[in-house]
Structure 1
Amino acid sequence: MSEQVETRAFVMRLKPGNVAEYERRHDAIWPELADLLGTSGIHDYSIFLDEDTLQLFAVLKLRPGHTIAALPDHPVMRRWWDHMAPLMDVEPDNRPREWTLRRVFHLP
């Protein structure tokens, strides 16, 4: 029996006036960050914006055996968080403030 892909969803929030810059920075995502996310087991990652509330809704899929728990300690991830911190609500270490969402419905 093969392991199933895990899906995670969470919400983050932009600070007012930063939508265009947030999009610009993601359109130019660093190749080393994209590689890091992929090798950590993240794939099919999307972020959606609610323009009225500035909430960002993120959903990603994790491959079996993923290693995302190590991401907060990786220098590339830390630099990205520092790069993005002026644009969004963050924790004291510049990690984006996230609210995990629980799946309540799924239609495969």
Structure 2
Amino acid sequence: MRVFPDKHEEYKKRHDQLWPEMREMLKSHGCTKYSIWLDKETHYLFGYLEFDDEELFSKITDTVTNRKWWDYMEDVMDTNYDNSPISIALTQVFELSD
């Protein structure tokens, strides 16, 4: 995902003030961890999510809360025609674990 160069602070502010209904919707769809990092030079965002059930989590895109969030964020980041963030799925190439 990519945030507009002049919207870094606004992007962070909106996430610092995440709507309670958005937080609840994520949790009710099995999201246990969600972190977002910003590369301030390229304006790219990297999101890391953990969730219990991929099928349940995939239903997030159809929720009213999620659609409202996409509309709310459309003015601070690159989006698709439906205001969903333009994102690229990455392929994991390494993990160190126990």
Q: Within the alignment, does 1:96 sit opposite 2:82 as a pair? A: no
TM-superposed CA distance for 1:44, in Å, is 1.2
Higher-helix-fraction structure: 2
Residue identity (%):
38
- Structure with larger RCO (C-alpha < 8 A, sep 6+): 1
TM-score (norm 2): 0.94
Match of 2:4 in 1: 15
Q: Match of 1:87, SS?
A: coil
- How many residue pairs are counted as aligned between the two chains? 97
Q: Within the alignment, does 1:82 sit opposite 2:71 as a pair? A: yes
TM-score (norm 1): 0.86
Q: Within the alignment, does 1:54 sit opposite 2:43 as a pair? A: yes
Match of 2:62 in 1: 73
Higher-strand-fraction structure: 1
Note the residue ranges of structure 1 that are not aligned, 5 or more in a row. Answer: 1-11
RMSD of Structure 2 on Structure 1 (CA): 1.1
Note the residue ranges of structure 2 that are not aligned, 5 or more in a row. Answer: none
TM-superposed CA distance for 1:64, in Å, is 3.4
